[in-house]
Structure 1
Amino acid sequence: MAGAVKVFRHPARHGYAVENSPFFPNRLACASSQYYGIAGCGTVLVLEEGENGISHIVSFNWKDGLYDVTWSENNEHVLVTGSGDGSLQVWDTARSQGLLQVLNEHKQEVYSVDWSLTRGEALVVSGSWDHAAKVWDLERPHSLNTFHGHQGVIYSTIWSPLIPGCFASASGDGTLRVWDVKAGVSRVVIGAHAMEILSCDWCKYNENVLVTGAVDCSLRVWDLRNVRQPIAELLGHTYAIRRVKFSPHHHTVLASVSYDFTVRFWDFQRAAPLLDTLEHHTEFVCGLDFNMHIPNQVMDCAWDETVKIYTPSCLSSLPCIT
């Protein structure tokens, strides 16, 4: 169960990703697309939660669907999106025109973008259906490096929050890879699932722990020190898992959203790991994030044209790391 759920509806826009601002506790961005991302333009929305609901701050349109969004860690107004036309867009939400830069090197859809969280880095990683990941410094017009190794579509690229110059990628080839940016190679390759992996995330408190979510409806938690088998397998979803996120306020808590229309919360160290299942969407749930500023607050978005912000009651009794 969840407490009061605040809802923002944007007609004819189907949500793919949400991310909370690292600077403003009540601000978030949502990447969305017309016609379920199959055709039409994309829109990035900047929203703000208030006492009376969720308000629209600004939005910008792009000529193709937008599948992911990430906020800058060093400029409160800048965010990056990834598009179906193979490009990344850099936006300044304080400018009326919005668009600052277009990065156009990928050959197919950009399905994942992520801004590095580690100090001293101002890098973005992107993952594409062209089987390649790229690392970008937005002060430069071209990518710093391109990373090849996956034999299938890359659905997810996520920086380690604890190890500089390190990111993970999840692919339709069933593998999870951990990359060393300076060396330009994948240091770890895990055959994590027998089916496509649509999402991965790093634990915020343990540099060796990641989670994968796949088309086989399972989440698997991995320890990089021994990758022969997962340290936990979380079962309950009935369709493909679209996105997974570790909580920034708990060591072992994570959330997942799925094409089964549900949001689920887990503690992977418990014997019965499923904490709760929320069924408050009427279409595929694609976007998910925890609010790093407000303990236990969660935001999600779905193909039902809604963005929702809420606090799951299953997390309220758990001690938070502050």
Structure 2
Amino acid sequence: MLHYRTQGYNGCAVKYSPFFDNRLAVASSSNFGLVGNGRLHILELTANGIQPLKWFTTQDSLYDLAWSEIHENQVLAASGDGSIKLFDCTANDFPISNWKEHAREVFSVSWNPVAKDRFCSSSWDGTVRIWSPHRPQSLLTLPTHSCTYSASFCPHSPEIISSPSTPDPPATAIPGQPGGPAPPAEALTHDWNKYRPTVLATAGVDRAIRTFDIRAPQQGPLSTMLGHEYAVRKLAWSPHLSNVLLSASYDMTCRVWSDRSDVAGGDMDMMRAGPVVGAELGRMGRHTEFVTGVDWCLFGSEGWCASVGWDENLYVWDVRATMS
């Protein structure tokens, strides 16, 4: 397990580069993102551990990031001042582009992996916006009418975008004692399956991870995974295995799960049979504060991932070492 300290800055998100197997980036904020500066860390994995390649300090908190799909040295950052900034690792300490149309904090950014000339953002202002890195204004605004924590392009289609948000009416419950899911509450995160084009996973305040098939949106979840003791902050499907996903939670753990689609006969059989109970395969408990970001390495063997949290720690670790 490798470790790096984001000294003075609490981690909010981590992403591996899609171009380099030894490079990753961390979006972080001082004072837990409540007030103060942000910092984007560009890091490299070396024979001597994790080394800083470059960092950019911003006037407001940074909540999320996305590597460009068209330029190996460029990274988007979602800022608390409502702006989206594009940084270049080879440039000076300022963004090469800046977009500001959101009226409140930008909480997520996602680059389109299919149509690579666009990216999207979601904000607490109740909108998702589509952008081009070559244009100063957004291409499209999609109203969600509620606080939107996550937005993502489908990796199988250039025109499909998804975003979970606060239910209507919004729930007031907060995570309580360990056990089953609480009443419907805010969805904080979601991710598309990399191998099954119609399947995605969601999670949030009620502590439950659920998978859905967009061909049957009213049918309910294909699979439900229970075990986290507090809200689930981030989900990431494995880029190597179709049934495995990783979660990060306010209970200070990262957990690896199987949605059991590999033994349930496939998605159509799961829809006919009703909800499947997924299985926890292992967990990592080295963080000492909220875990806010996880991501899988796209290269090499299928187990390596990275996690960040409010404890100012980045860990790079092998999921397989946590599995019993």
Using the size of structure 1 for normalisation, the TM-score is 0.88
RMSD over aligned Cα atoms = 1.6
| Residue type at the aligned position of 1:101 | S
1:198-213 aligned within 5 A:
198-213=188-203
- Provide the C-alpha distance between the structure 2 equivalents of 1:194 and 1:202, rounded to a whole number of angstroms: 21
CA shift, 1:12, in A, is: 1.1
CA contact (8 A) 1:153 1:171 kept: yes
CA shift, 1:314, in A, is: 5.6
- Provide the C-alpha distance between the structure 1 equivalents of 2:113 and 2:82, rounded to a whole number of angstroms: 24
- Provide the C-alpha distance between the structure 1 equivalents of 2:93 and 2:223, rounded to a whole number of angstroms: 47
Q: Match of 1:89?
A: 85
Q: Match of 2:298?
A: 292
SS in 1 for 2:149: strand
Q: Match of 1:164?
A: 158
1:147-162 aligned within 5 A:
147-148=142-143, 150-162=144-156
Q: Match of 2:65?
A: 69
CA shift, 1:287, in A, is: 0.8
Stretches of structure 1 that go unaligned for 5 or more consecutive residues are: 176-192, 318-322
Aligned length: 294
Q: 2:316 aligns with which of 271, 291, 309?
A: 309
1:137-286 aligned within 5 A:
137-148=132-143, 150-173=144-167, 194-227=184-217, 228-269=219-260, 273-286=279-292
| Residue type at the aligned position of 1:220 | R
1:210/1:198 CA distance change after superposition, 3 Å: same
Q: Match of 1:126?
A: 121
CA contact (8 A) 1:275 1:314 kept: no
Using the size of structure 2 for normalisation, the TM-score is 0.88
| Residue type at the aligned position of 1:141 | P
1:219/1:65 CA distance change after superposition, 3 Å: same
SS in 2 for 1:304: coil
1:142/1:289 CA distance change after superposition, 3 Å: same
CA contact (8 A) 2:282 2:323 kept: no
Q: 2:25 aligns with which of 21, 24, 29?
A: 29
- Provide the C-alpha distance between the structure 1 equivalents of 2:90 and 2:78, rounded to a whole number of angstroms: 20
More strand by share: 1
